[in-house]
């Protein structure tokens, strides 16, 4: 045991030296936060965690999430010393290097991107859920900074993990007492920090984060604890090992200057002789990155034309069917399952339903963790409430998950009397802004079911926008809805304009077209069910053939369907955008759509006004 402790202490010193050298070479980075957690990292990577350095995606390996992502240099250093990466550590932060300033999946050893503080534990919860679903014995370790525990999202994750009894999850809080601009909230008050975690139902143990026997004992407690997750509150010193850095303010994000400053720090740390670094057994061929298994069969809608069904309800039915087709489908909900209709999935596949309660950040973070483990997560809530999780959504995109589907229901003023706090009016703009995202907006039950399946087979972040009102079934059950397409619902050789709509406004567009036809005015109508990617070719053809485009949407004018179509047209035709431009209030759906100028009357009026 003594020899092992000496080796781990030597490795911790080596990790500190690497962190100083890497950040000084890069002339940027956060060496002092690396130095505080070096002993913790040594214990985890060279004693506690099981992993094969030749197989970053092994399903049997323990997972590690560096929630305090600015400590990335010490993660790269630990992986390098373990033989898991061979890239030159001095390439840190270079554009040609996978050793980024904060962890991203450009390194196969990183499952989820971190660096926006307060998110790592949520992803860790999702990963632990996936491993329990798959009956795997591997564990998940999450290293947090004490400063990020001021984020409410940490406590959303903490209570969720406790509620689920995730005893395969261990969190470690690096209590180094210093944040970016000053002391952290609790400084070195480890007992108060531990009491907070105990209040959330965790097994909590305070330890000296620089004493290897205490660290190893704490990790052993975590491994033996059953029925609840464990957190170790590790009291540490920022800048540990260097006299002019240790416990000193003003060094956050500040690398040492090459020359006397760096040389003095390295001299204080000392050098190690040859270390007998614990090596892991290489088990053969590396595993592929976790991804959903291909599945056969298709969702089979069974509706009658004209039948009144809300798209949110059809979404729930499609999830049930998908759950039968693929065992990788997992559904998460934010305690609105009877409104999003995900309760249908819960009733059919209760072992793959995760109730996240009123905690949308945790829901999205856990969905990311599930996606990183090869699941197909569908996370659902009212569209307006997903906005509070936007930082989680953008970080999920940077994590490059195989697929992660988010569904926002109760969109637009058409929800009616509940009023503006419940109306998703910014969601299309929000999701269109996410790099690489897909945005789908069905108008009827058939398209809703088909697009739900398309979402499950897509890549990356997918957003499904479903509506509260019941709408008539418009399409035959066998109709296909490829991503990036659209449906031309009215067309003639004499069309003098094109109306582009999506969701509930498709029906307003059709009503307007029928009324105009009665007046001898022919117009084209297009259902733009794929908002991103948009069917630019069809819209350009329509613009060329009809001369004018009118878009109509139950969404704010900024960032919505109108701007997507305008971008596709690139100024090749006049465009009039009908959208919600004033703050709404309670009222009936019909009253509100009329008041905000997105009903059939408004479309007719806009078209006549543009005719001159």
Domain boundary, last residue among 269, 288, 319: 269
**Contact status, residue 377 vs residue 330, Cβ threshold 8 Å:** yes
Residue 286 located in a structural domain:
no
Same domain, 404 and 502: no
For the whole prediction, is pTM greater than 0.85?
Answer: yes
Q: Are residues 119 and 45 in the same domain?
A: yes
Closest CA to 210 of 9, 3, 71, 73: 9
Residue 599's nearest CA partner among 558, 556, 559, 552 is: 552
Say how many CA atoms lie within 13 Å of 298 toward its Cβ: 13
Statement to judge: residues 466 and 512 lie in one domain = no
Cis-peptide, bond into residue 533, ω within 30° of zero: yes
Asked if residue 215 and residue 319 are part of one domain, the reply reads no
Q: Are strands 230-235 and 575-580 parallel, antiparallel or unpaired?
A: unpaired
- Among the listed residues 9, 151, 360, 553, the single catalytic one is 360
Same domain, 510 and 466: no
CATH code: domain of residue 542 = 3.40.50.920
User: Would you list the DSSP string of 509-561?
Assistant: HHHHHHHHHHTT---EEEE--EEES--HHHHHHHHHHHS-EEEEEEEESTTSH
Domain limits for position 553? 487-611
> In terms of Cα–Cα distance, which of 605, 595, 609 is closest to 515?
605
Q: pLDDT under 50 in the chain at which residues?
A: none
Closest by Cα among 581, 592, 484 to 531? 484
Q: Is 173 helix (H, G, I), strand (E, B) or coil?
A: strand
Q: What is the pLDDT of residue 204?
A: 98
Residue 507: the pLDDT is: 98
Q: Give the domain CATH number at 317.
A: 3.40.50.970
Nearest CA-CA partner of 543 in 568, 564, 521, 562: 568
Bridge-partner residues for 145, per DSSP? 174
User: Which DSSP string do the residues of 125-160 spell out, in sequence order?
Assistant: HHHHHHHHHTT----EEEEEESGGGGSHHHHHHHHH
**411, HSE (Cβ side, Cα atoms, 13 Å):** 34
264/341 same-domain check: no
C-beta atoms surrounding 291 within 10 Å: 17
Same domain, 247 and 381: no
Query: What b/e string do you get for 259-279 counting C-beta neighbours within 10 Å, with b at 16 or more?
Result: eeebeebbeebeeeeebeeee
Do the beta carbons of residue 501 and residue 533 sit within 8 Å? no
Q: In what order do the strands lie in the sheet with 403-409?
A: 353-355, 329-333, 376-382, 403-409, 460-465, 438-440, 530-532
Q: Tell me: do 318 and 374 sit in the same domain.
A: yes
State the CB neighbour count (10 A cutoff) for residue 562: 24
Distances (CA, A) of 30 to 27, 33, 37, 253: 10, 6, 12, 4
Q: Could you say which DSSP state residue 362 is in?
A: H
484: tokens are 């990036």
3-class state of residue 110 by DSSP: coil
Enter the tokens of residue 328.
């990788």
User: Is 339 among the domain residues?
Assistant: yes
Q: How far apart are CA 360 and CA 335, in angstroms?
A: 9
pLDDT at 36: 98
Cβ(468)–Cβ(312) below 8 Å: yes
Same domain, 404 and 444: yes
pLDDT for the residue 152: 98
Residue 281 within a domain = no
Nearest Cα residue to 24 out of 174, 274, 242, 180: 242
User: Does residue 354 share a domain with residue 247?
Assistant: no
Concerning whether 508 is annotated as a catalytic residue, the answer is no
Give how far Cα 308 sits from Cα of 446, 484, 598, Å: 11, 26, 21
Read off the DSSP letter of residue 117.
T
**Closest-CA residue to 283 (of 55, 435, 81):** 55
Going by C-beta distance under 8 Å and a sequence separation of 6 or more, which residues neighbour residue 259?
none
274 belongs to a structural domain: no
> Per the structure, how many domains does the chain have?
3
Alpha helices by DSSP H, 165-224: 190-199, 212-224
- Structural domain ending residue among the three candidates 269, 293, 325: 269
Contacts with 176 (C-beta within 8 Å, 6 or more apart), sequence order? 33, 36, 37, 145, 146, 184, 236, 237, 238
Is residue 276, in this structure, part of any structural domain at all? Answer: no
**Does residue 479 lie within any of the structural domains?**
no
Instruction: Please check whether residues 463 and 503 belong to one and the same domain.
Output: no
β-bridge mates for residue 534, sequence order:
none
Give yes or no: residues 467 and 563 share one domain.
no
45-76 confidence digits (pLDDT tens): 999 999 999 999 999 999 999 999 999 999 99
Asked, for residue 277, whether it belongs to a domain, the answer is no
22, part of any domain? yes
């Amino acid at each position: 045991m003594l020899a092992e402790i000496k080796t781990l202490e030597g490795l911790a010193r080596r990790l500190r030296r690497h962190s100083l050298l890497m950040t000084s070479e890069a002339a940027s980075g956060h060496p002092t936060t690396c130095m505080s957690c070096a002993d913790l990292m040594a214990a985890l990577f060279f004693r506690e965690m099981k992993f094969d350095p030749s197989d970053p995606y092994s399903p049997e390996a323990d997972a590690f999430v560096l929630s305090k992502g600015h400590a990335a240099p010490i993660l790269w250093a630990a992986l390098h010393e373990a033989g898991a990466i061979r890239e030159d550590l001095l390439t840190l932060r270079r554009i040609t290097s996978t050793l980024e300033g904060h962890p991203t999946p450009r390194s196969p050893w990183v499952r989820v991107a971190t660096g926006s503080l307060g998110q790592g534990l949520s992803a860790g919860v999702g990963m632990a859920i996936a491993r329990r679903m798959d009956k795997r014995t591997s564990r998940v370790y999450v290293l947090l900074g004490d400063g990020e525990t001021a984020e409410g999202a940490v406590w959303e994750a903490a209570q969720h993990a406790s509620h689920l009894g995730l005893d395969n999850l261990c969190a470690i809080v690096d209590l180094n007492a210093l944040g970016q601009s000053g002391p952290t909230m609790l400084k070195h008050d480890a007992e108060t920090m531990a009491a907070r975690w105990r209040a959330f139902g965790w097994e909590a143990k305070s330890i000296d984060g620089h004493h290897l026997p205490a660290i190893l004992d704490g990790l052993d407690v975590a491994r033996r604890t059953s029925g609840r997750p464990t957190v170790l509150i590790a009291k540490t010193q920022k800048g540990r090992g260097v006299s002019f850095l240790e416990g000193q303010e003003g060094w956050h994000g500040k690398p040492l200057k090459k020359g006397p400053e760096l040389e003095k720090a390295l001299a204080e740390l000392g050098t190690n002789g040859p270390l007998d670094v614990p090596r892991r057994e290489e088990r053969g061929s590396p595993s592929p990155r976790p991804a959903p298994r291909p599945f056969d069969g298709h969702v089979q809608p069974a509706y009658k034309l004209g039948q009144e069904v809300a798209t949110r309800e059809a979404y729930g039915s499609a999830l049930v069917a998908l759950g039968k087709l693929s065992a990788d489908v997992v559904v998460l909900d934010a305690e609105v399952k009877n409104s999003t209709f995900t309760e249908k999935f819960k009733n059919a596949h209760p072992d793959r339903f995760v109730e996240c309660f009123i905690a949308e950040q945790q829901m999205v973070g856990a969905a990311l963790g599930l996606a990183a483990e090869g699941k197909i997560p569908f996370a659902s809530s009212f569209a307006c409430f997903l906005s509070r999780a936007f930082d989680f959504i953008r970080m999920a995109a940077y994590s490059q998950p195989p697929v992660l589907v988010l569904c926002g229901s109760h969109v637009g003023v058409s929800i009616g009397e509940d009023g503006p706090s419940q109306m998703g009016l910014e969601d299309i703009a929000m999701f269109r802004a996410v790099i690489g995202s897909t945005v789908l907006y069905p108008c009827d039950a058939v398209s809703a079911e088909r697009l739900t399946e398309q979402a499950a087979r897509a890549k990356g972040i997918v957003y499904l926008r479903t509506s509260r009102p019941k709408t008539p079934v418009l399409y035959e059950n066998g109709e296909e809805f490829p991503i990036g397409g659209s449906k031309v619902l009215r067309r003639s050789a004499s069309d003098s304009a094109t109306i582009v709509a999506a969701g509930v406004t498709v029906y307003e567009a059709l009503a307007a077209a029928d009324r105009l036809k009665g007046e001898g005015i022919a117009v084209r109508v297009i259902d733009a069910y794929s908002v991103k990617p948009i069917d630019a070719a069809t819209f350009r053809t329509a613009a060329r053939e009809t001369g004018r485009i009118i878009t109509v949407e139950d969404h704010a004018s900024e960032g919505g369907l109108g701007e997507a179509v305008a971008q596709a047209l690139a100024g090749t035709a006049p465009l009039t955008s009908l959208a919600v431009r004033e703050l709404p209030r309670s009222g009936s759906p019909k009253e509100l759509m009329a008041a905000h100028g997105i009903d059939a009357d408004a479309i007719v009026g806009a078209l006549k006004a543009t005719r001159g």
